[in-house]
Amino acid sequence: MSVHPTSHSFKDNASRAIADGSVPRALKNVRQNFIDKRVKAVDALPEFEALRESAREIKNHTLAHLDLYLERYEQKVKDSGGHVHFAVDSAEARNIVLDICRKVGARTVTKGKSMISEEIGLNGHLEAAGIVPVETDLGEYIIQLRGETPSHIIAPAVHLTKDQIEKDFRRVHTQLDPNRDLTEKRSLLTEARTMLREKFLAADVGITGANFLIAETGSSVIVTNEGNGDLTQILPRVHIVIASIEKVVPTLEDVSQILRVLARSATGQEMSVYTTFSTGPRRATDVDGPEEYHVVLLDNGRSAMLGTEFQDMLRCIRCAACMNHCPVYHQIGGHAYGWIYPGPMGSVLTPSLIGVDKAGHLPNASTFCGRCESVCPMKIPLPKMMRHWREREFERNLNPAVARYGLGFWAFFAKKPWLYNLSTRVAAKAMKLMGRNKGRFQSLPGLGAWTQYRDFAVPEGETFQAQWKKRAGK
Amino acid sequence: MSSRDTIFASIRRSLHVKGDERIRSTIVDERLDRSPKGVVPARAQLDSAGKLALFIEKAEGVQATVARVLSPKDVPGEVARYLRDNNLPAALRMGDDPRLSAMPWKDTALDVTTGRSNGLDLSGITHAETAVAETGTLAILSGHENPTTLNFLPDNHIVVLNASDLVADLESVWARVRKKVGKGEMPRTVNFVTGPSRSGDIEQTILLGAHGPRALHIVVVEG
Ligand code: SF4
C-alpha cells in the first residue's frame, strides 16, 4: 500500500466527507479527550507559556545550525556503535530499510508508530519484497487491517467506531472463536494485545520513528503510551529508527524543555507513559536489546524549506493540537486532506513535501480563526504560512478559481455558515483584509444542518478565545 | 555525490553558509558542552518530604500504585503482599541489581528467577535509578542489573525507588546520569515510565494495559 496523495482532489474529498456526515460523529470524543484535557494540563503549569517560548527558541537555534548538529549527532551514533544512513527522498529511504532487512534475512518486522514510515510508504515496499510489516500501535494496527492511512497524526484510527473495529477483528482474527464476546472496548484491546504479543516475540527487525534525536549523545527518543514502541525496539535483533533530519535537538536539557509542552499539547498528559532514550546497540554487559542499531535520516524536501517562509514549519513536533482545534478538520476529517498529514500542519507541510501542484487546495482549508497557531506548542504561524502558499499558488497561476475570484476555494467554506459563526476577530480581520463583504456569508443557507456541530464548536471556541485573551493579558 | 553530501549541501545552500564558519561551530560546541537549562517548573523545587509527597500524588494520578517501606529488607514482604492481594502467582523475575539481590527474598514464599524476561513472566521487578517528582516519572537504566525487557513484557511491573534518589525535575535526572556514565554518554536505554501502559485508540477511551504492563506498583524505600 504505497501512499498516493489525493490532496489535489481535496475539494471533492472534503465535499464527500461533509455529505457523508460521519466525521463529526466520529470526532466528538476529541473535545473531551484532547481539547479539555489540554486546557487542564496547560492551566496546571504556570510556566507553560515560558516553556513554549523556550521550545521555539531551541528549535530555531537548531535549525539555524542544522548541518552542524546533524554532524555531531551522526558522530555520536557511530561512537556508540550504531549506523547512520542518509536518504534524499522516500524511495531511497525505503530501499535503505529494505536492504537492512534483507541483509539479516528478515521475514517479519514489527513497527512502532511512525509518520515517516507513512510518508515514505514503507509497508507496501516491504510487502512487495516478501517481508511482513506488522504495525503494533493499536490505532495503526487497526488501520493496517483496513488498508487505510491514518486520519490523525497521534490517533490514527480516530475516525473509526468500536463496532467497525470489532468487525475488522472478526474478519482478520479468524483463528479465534467466532462466538467470542467483543462488545466491550476492553475485550478489543485484550485481543489486539494477545495477537501482537506473538508478533513482538517473533520479529526479526523492529522499526520505530523518533520524536527527537539528540546531538549531545546520539540518542533517539520515542514518546508513547502503549509500550508497543519499546517492545518493537528491544526484542528483535535489529532496531531501525526512521526519522526526518529536523528531528535533531542539541542536548538532553533541550529535549526536556520540549517534552514538557509535547504531551500536554497532544493528549493533556503531563508526561506520556513511556519516554525512551535509545543509544546504539546493546552493550557487552546487556542481556537484552538489539544487536544492530540503524538510523535512517530522511530529507525529502525539508532542507529546501530552510531559509524560506516555511522554515518555521520544521519546528513541528507532531503533537496534533492544531488539528484537534481546527474547525475545518472537525468537519471533514483527516482523510479528506488526501495525504498523511492532515489539519493545519498538513495544509502547510504537504505542499512543501509533495509540491504545491499536487496539494493546491490544501492551504485554503482554513477559516483563519487562528486557533491552530494559538495552541501550537512550537508557536508555528500556521495561518500565515497557509497564506504564503496561497500567494505562491496565485503567482504560479495553478488555480484558475483563485485567479478569478481572489479567494477561490474560500467560497467552498463560505457555504458553511458554521465556519462563519466560528470566526473570531482574527478571521474577521483576515476576511476584511481580503476585501470580502462579510454579509455574503451570513446570507447563505444551510445553517440548521450544522446545529449538531455548533453545539460543540461554538461554546468551545468562545471559551477558548476568552481564555486565551485572559492568558495573553497576563 | 553521496546522499549525505547532497543533503548537507542543500542545508547549507538554504542557510547561506559553507559549514566551516568558526563562529557557528563554536556556538554549537559550547551549547553541547554547557547544556544550558531552560525553564524549570517551580512546582517540584521542594524539600525531600515535599518532593516525595508530590511524586506519590503524581504517580497515583496516572494510575500507578505506591507503597512506602522503611528499609530495603521490607521490600520482599511488600512485594509478596502486593502479588497476594492482586491474586497473582507468587513468582517474580528480576535482573542482578545488587540492591535487589541483597534483599531477603528467601524470607518470603516468592519464586524468584533472574535474567531478562522471556515473555511468560507475569510479574517483574526493576530498581529505578531515580524518579522525577515533577510528573511522577520513574527513570530506569538498561543493563544486566535491570534488563529493559522486565519493564515491558510482564503484566505487572514493580519498581523499587530509594526515596533518597528522588529528584525534582527532568534536568536533575541528566545530572545523575552524567555522573554515572559521563557527559555526552548514555546507557543503551533510559526508560522514563509514568504510570502503566494505556491506549486511547478505541473511541478515545483510555484503557490501561495496552502492550506494556497492565499495572505499575512502586515501592518507595524511605530508610
Ligand atoms: S503544527 Fe504545532 S500544533 Fe500542529 S502538530 Fe505541529 S507542533 Fe503540534
Average pLDDT over residues A115-142: 95
Whether residue A437 is predicted with pLDDT greater than 90 in this model: the reply is no
Give the domain CATH number at A90: 3.40.50.10420
> Which residues on A lie below 8 Å from B95 (Cβ)?
287
pLDDT for res A127: 96
Domain-embedded: residue A244:
yes
Task: Answer yes or no: do A141 and A270 share one domain.
Answer: yes
Chain A residues in contact with B194 (beta carbon < 8 A): 269-275
Residue A449 in this model has a pLDDT that exceeds 80: no
Distance CA A160, CA A303 (A): 36
Partners of A110 in the β-ladder = A134, A206
The answer as to whether A34 is a domain residue is: no
Within 8 A of A306 by CB-CB distance, chain B residues are: 11, 14-15
A386 part of a folded domain: no
Residue A452 to residues A24, A31, A278: CA-CA distances in angstroms? Answer: 9, 14, 46
Which chain B residues touch A226 with a CB distance below 8 Å? 197-199, 210-212
Q: Which residues surround ligand 1 with Cβ inside 6 Å? A: A 316-322, 345, 376-378, 380, 382
Cβ neighbours of B200 in A, within 8 Å: 33, 155, 225, 267
pLDDT for the residue numbered A8: 77
pLDDT digits (tens, 9 = 90+) for A179-221: 999 999 999 999 999 999 999 999 999 999 999 999 999 999 9
Range of the domain at A130: 45-300
Residues A274 and A409 placed together within one structural domain of the fold: no
Give A138 to chain B, closest Cα distance, Å: 6
Asked whether the beta carbons of residue B19 and residue A67 sit closer than 8 angstroms, the reply is yes
Whether residue A380 lies inside any domain: the answer is: no
Cα–Cα dist A378/A313, whole Å: 9
Rama region for B55: left / alpha / beta (φ>0; ψ in -120 to 50; rest): alpha
| DSSP class per residue in A137-205 | SHHHHHHHHHT---SSSS-TTTT--HHHHHHHHHHH-TTS-TT----SHHHHHHHHHHHHHHHHHH-SE
Domain count of the fold of chain A = 2
Chain mean pLDDT for chain A: 84
CA distance A439 to chain B (A): 39
Taking the CA of residue A222 and the nearest CA in chain B, the distance in Å comes to: 10
Contact A142 B201 (CB under 8 A): yes
Q: Per residue in A318-369, pLDDT tens?
A: 999 999 999 989 888 888 888 889 999 999 999 889 888 887 678 777 888 9
Pairwise CA distance, residues A298 & B216, whole Å: 37
Which has the higher per-residue pLDDT, A452 or A4?
A4
- Answer whether A110's CB lies under 8 Å from A175's CB: no
Of all protein residues, whose CA lies closest to atom 3 belonging to ligand 1? Answer: A376
Which candidate, A316, A474, A264, A33, places its Cα nearest to that of B41? Answer: A264
B112 CA: distance to closest CA in chain A (Å) = 18
Residue whose CA is at the smallest distance from ligand 1 atom 7? A316
B36 vs A contacts (CB less than 8 Å): 251, 253
Q: Which residue of A has its CA nearest to B191?
A: A276
Q: How many CB atoms lie within 10 A of CB B217?
A: 22
Compute, in angstroms, the gap from residue A342 CA to the centroid of ligand 1: 11
Handedness of CA A230, A232, A237, A239 (dihedral sign): negative
The domain boundary, picked from A243, A272, A300, lies at A300
Fold exhibited by the domain B46-221: Rossmann fold (3.40.50)
Is there a domain that residue A290 lies in? yes
Contact A227 B192 (CB under 8 A): no
Chosen domain end from A281, A300, A319: A300
Q: pLDDT tens-digit profile of B69-99?
A: 999 999 999 999 999 999 999 999 999 999 9
Residue B29 has, within 13 A of its CA and on its CB side, a CA count of 6
Q: Please indicate, yes or no, whether residues A217 and A77 belong to a single structural domain of this protein.
A: yes
For residue A214, what is the enclosing H or E element? strand A212-214
Side-chain half-sphere CA neighbours of A435 within 13 A:
4
| Partner-chain contact A277 B201, CB within 8 Å | no
**Is A29 part of a structural domain of the chain?**
no
When scoring B2, B5, B7 by the number of chain A Cβ atoms within 10 A, the one with the most, hence best to mutate, is B7
Note whether residue A3 is domain-resident.
Answer: no
| Min Cα separation B160/chain A (Å) | 17
All residues of chain B having their beta carbon less than 8 Å from the beta carbon of residue A301 are: none
Half-sphere exposure of A429 (CA within 13 A, CB side): 6
In a domain, A390, yes or no: no
Judged by phi (left if over 0) then psi (alpha if -120 to 50, else beta), residue A54 lies in alpha
Question: What pLDDT digit, counting tens, does each position of A267-304 carry?
Answer: 999 999 999 999 999 999 999 999 999 999 999 999 99
pLDDT of residue A176 exceeding 70, the answer is yes
Q: What percent of chain B has pLDDT over 70?
A: 100
Sheet holding B65-69, edge to edge: B65-69, B215-221, B156-162, B123-127, B91-94, B111-114
- Atom 6, ligand 1: residue with shortest CA distance: A316
Half-sphere exposure of B2 (CA within 13 A, CB side): 5
Residues A385 and A374: their CA atoms lie apart, in Å, by 14
**A273–B197 CB contact, under 8 Å:** yes
* pLDDT at residue number A398: 57
Helix (H, G, I), strand (E, B), or coil: what is residue A297?
strand
Q: Specify the residue for cell string 546520539.
A: A218
Q: Which atom of ligand 1 is nearest to the CA of A153?
A: 5
Closest CA to A252 of A222, A220, A214: A214
pLDDT for residue A450: 30
The domain segmentation of chain B, as residue ranges, is 1-34, 46-221
Subunit contact A253:B142, Cβ cutoff 8 A: no
| Residue B16: predicted pLDDT | 98
Cα A306 off chain centre by? 20
Q: Confidence band (pLDDT; 50, 70, 90) for A79?
A: very high
Which of A300, A321, A347 is where one domain is finished?
Answer: A300
In this structure, the dihedral spanned by the alpha carbons of residues A51, A342, A94 and B8, taken in order and rounded to 10 degrees, is -50
Best B204, B214, B216 member to test A by mutation, with max A CBs in 10 Å, is B204
Q: What are phi and psi of B85, to 5 degrees?
A: -60, -25
Q: Are B44 and B188 in contact (CB under 8 A)?
A: no
- B94, B112 contact by CB (below 8 A): yes
For residue B169, give the nearest of B4, B41, B66 by alpha carbon: B41
Between A2 and A455, the higher pLDDT residue = A2
Please give the model's pTM, rounded to 2 decimal places: 0.89
Residue A107 to residue A126: CA distance in whole angstroms: 10
Which residue of chain B comes nearest to A269, CA vs CA?
A: B62
The rounded Å distance from CA B210 to ligand 1 centre is 26
pLDDT reported for residue A19: 74
- Is the distance from CB of A453 to CB of A332 less than 8 angstroms? no
Count other Cβ atoms within 10 Å, centred on residue B101: 13
Asked if the ipTM is above 0.90, the reply is: yes
pLDDT at A421 over 60: no
On the CB side of A269, CA atoms within 13 Å amount to 27
DSSP annotation of A216: T
Nearest CA in chain B to A273: B194
Task: State yes or no: pLDDT of B117 exceeds 70.
Answer: yes
pLDDT of residue A427: 39
What are the beta bridge partners of residue A293? A239
Distance A376 CA to ligand 1 centre (A): 5
Most A CBs within 10 Å, among B2, B11, B151, B170, to test the A interface: B11
